[in-house]
Amino acid sequence: MGMHQNFIGGRFRPTTGGDVIPVLNPARDTVISEIPDSSADAVAQAVAAAKRAQPAWEKLPAIQRAKYLRQISAKIRANAAKIARVISEEQGKILGLAEVEAHFTADYIDYMAEWARRIEGEVIQSDRPGENIFLFRQALGVVAGILPWNFPFFLIARKMAPALITGNTIVIKPSEETPNNAALFASLVQETELPEGVFNIVYGRGATTGRALTLHEDVRMVSFTGSVDTGSKIMADAARNITKVNLELGGKAPAIVLADADLDLAARAIKQSRVLNTGQVCNAPERVYVDRKVADAFVAKLTAEMKSTRYGDPLADDKLDMGPIINKSGLQKIDHLVSGAIAQGAQAILGGKVADLGAGNHYEPTVLVNCRQDMDIVQKEIFGPVLPVVTVSDLDEAIAMANDTVYGLTSSIYTNDIRCALKACNELHFGETYVNRENFEAMQGFHAGRGRSGIGGADGKHGVLEYTQTHLAYIQT
């Protein structure tokens, strides 16, 4: 694929100077492309292009903005197979899931286009005679979208589509791990009639390109998805210009399995979610709390499910359940957490180590029992195909342990008792609770974390409004 060029003002532009970052296939350890570590100057060019394009874009009726969004979604559908291969090659997800990602991205853009006729202000009663108070919903201006690598193509749309339909323009910084799909996205955008400067992409590391974007005074909102540590740094940098932040951060999702649950369903759903994208999904179960009375039966079923997981190089075998971990440091982090838990008394009844397939970053599907609440494996985000299991006496204890975390993104419960399900929904301190199922979230819902899992959210009506600002008009006649 060679060296990617930033997409600024509707054109691909070479960057001079600065580091060159190699992009690896995580299943094969081979270099597949390169990106520039774009400087503050390159970022400033992209922000300037977005700023120039924004007033005219905002003045268009929203239904016309929607027309351009639908041109992009049509291009994505027509190229879904190609997009899927590019995602799979650089990120390591299996082709089937990469195809789902491509099609879901197109559907998501269409869904956001539908908001064109639904973005509404308010008319508010005045205390004064002869006065009308109008609340307008207006664009913020230039939005920056800073992305992780785990659903890299979809996340471009999750930032771009609500930003554009509400009249903002955007500069996207993809993860340095997964720029190839973003380059393809840009080339598809270039084939549409989208006015130049409305959508821009800059490549580079977080510490250079990402920071320059966050610190730029013309960026009015940073919409970020990624880790808590980076979210915290972005919030600190955004403070300089009082830039709005929308932060979708990490999670440590608890799955609660009660004694009356359908254990087959629970074991299957938890396993499928945990190996999806090789466990690198922010809302997949990261720890299981199972009622002591059914713990042995449940763990046996869960272990059998996890054991059946087929893994390897996703472009060499289309019958796999999961591919590699994104990079060596991710693999080492998982291995460190697992070996630390074993040293503290946990037992790996399945897996528990790096899988040697000759190349790539593979980890064995792992089930850990005898885990305790105070272990790092139960407190820290693993982001891999590893399930620590903790036994509990009842629902109250499970909820207390589930809430004992700095995170608050998603949670799940398996029960056939509606009272237990409702109690969990009322008492779990998480942005989402799934009952008798795991992820994904719905595009018409609202994906938003509590605690250190984030500020603000994405999707649905509330997600659209995140990209607007209010403007009150007091009209005395």
List the interface residues with ligand NAD, window 68-127 (CB under 6 A): none
Given candidates 6, 71, 214, 223, which one binds ligand NAD under the rule CB under 6 A?
214
Residue at token pair 């089930």: 367
User: Which residue of the chain is nearest ligand NAD when measured via CB?
Assistant: 206
439-458 residues in contact with ligand NAD (CB under 6 A) are 447, 449, 454
The C-alpha atoms of residue 82 and residue 178 are separated, in whole angstroms, by 15
φ/ψ of residue 346, rounded to 5: -75, 155
When asked if residue 146 is in the footprint of ligand NAD (CB under 6 A), the reply is yes
159 binds ligand NAD (CB under 6 A): no
CB-nearer residue toward ligand NAD: 200 or 391: 200
The single residue among 99, 381, 459, 466 that binds ligand NAD, judged by CB under 6 A, is 381
If one asks whether residue 152 binds ligand NAD (CB under 6 A), the answer comes out as no
User: To the nearest whole angstrom, how small is the minimum distance from the Cβ of residue 210 to ligand NAD?
Assistant: 2
Tell me the CA distances in angstroms from 354 to 174, 218, 336, 418, one per residue in order: 28, 45, 10, 41
Q: Are 448 and 457 in contact (CB under 8 A)?
A: yes
User: How far is the C-alpha of 141 from the C-alpha of 222, rounded, in Å?
Assistant: 11
Identify which of residues 167 and 330 has a Cβ nearer to ligand NAD in the complex. Answer: 330
Active site residue 282: yes
CA pair distance 403, 195, nearest whole angstrom: 47
Interface of this chain with ligand NAD, residues 267 to 286, rule: CB under 6 A: 282
User: How many chain residues interact with ligand NAD (CB under 6 A)?
Assistant: 31
Q: Which C-beta is closer to ligand NAD: that of 104 or that of 149?
A: 149
The Cα–Cα gap between 76 and 331 comes to 32
* 459/369 Cα distance (integer angstroms): 36
H/E element, 281 = none
**In the set 92, 148, 279, 451, which binds ligand NAD (CB under 6 A)?**
148
Q: Name residue 76's amino acid.
A: I
Answer left, alpha or beta for residue 46, where phi above 0 means left and psi between -120 and 50 means alpha. alpha
Residue among 176, 248, 381, 438 flagged as catalytic: 248
Rank residues 71 and 246 by Cβ distance to ligand NAD and give the closer one: 246
- Asked whether 45 and 57 are in contact (CB, 8 A), the reply is no
Q: What is the 3-state secondary structure (H, E, C) of 25-63?
A: ECCCCEEEEEEECCCHHHHHHHHHHHHHHHHHHHHCCHH
Binding to ligand NAD (CB under 6 A) within 389-428 occurs at: 409
Determine whether 420 is an active site residue: no
**Which lies closer to ligand NAD via its Cβ, residue 205 or residue 429?**
205
Minimum Å gap between C-beta 255 and ligand NAD is 16
Q: Is 234 in the site for ligand NAD (CB under 6 A)?
A: yes
Angstrom distance (rounded) from CA 255 to CA 42: 44
- Least Cα distance to 335 among 286, 385, 270 occurs for 385
Q: Is 360 in the site for ligand NAD (CB under 6 A)?
A: no
- Which amino acid is it at 38? S
- Sites for ligand NAD among residues 184-213 (CB under 6 A): 205-207, 210-211
Does residue 431 belong to the site contacting ligand NAD (CB under 6 A)?
Answer: no
Q: According to the binding rule CB under 6 A, does residue 249 interact with ligand NAD?
A: yes
Planar angle of CA 439, 444, 449, nearest 5 degrees: 55
Q: What is the SS3 assignment for 67?
A: helix
9, 26, 226, 451: residue in contact with ligand NAD (rule CB under 6 A): 226
Residue whose pair of structure tokens reads 């799909």 in the numeric block: 181
Across 305-321, b (16+ Cβ under 10 Å) vs e yields: bbeebebbbbbeeeebb
The nearest distance, CB 227 to ligand NAD, in angstroms, is: 3
The 162-181 site mask, x for binding ligand NAD (CB under 6 A), equals -----------x-xx-----
Closest approach, Cβ 319 to ligand NAD, in A, equals: 26
| Binding region for ligand NAD (CB under 6 A) | 146-150, 173, 175-176, 205-207, 210-211, 214, 225-227, 230, 233-234, 248-251, 282, 381, 383, 409, 447, 449, 454
Catalytic residues, by residue number, are 248, 282
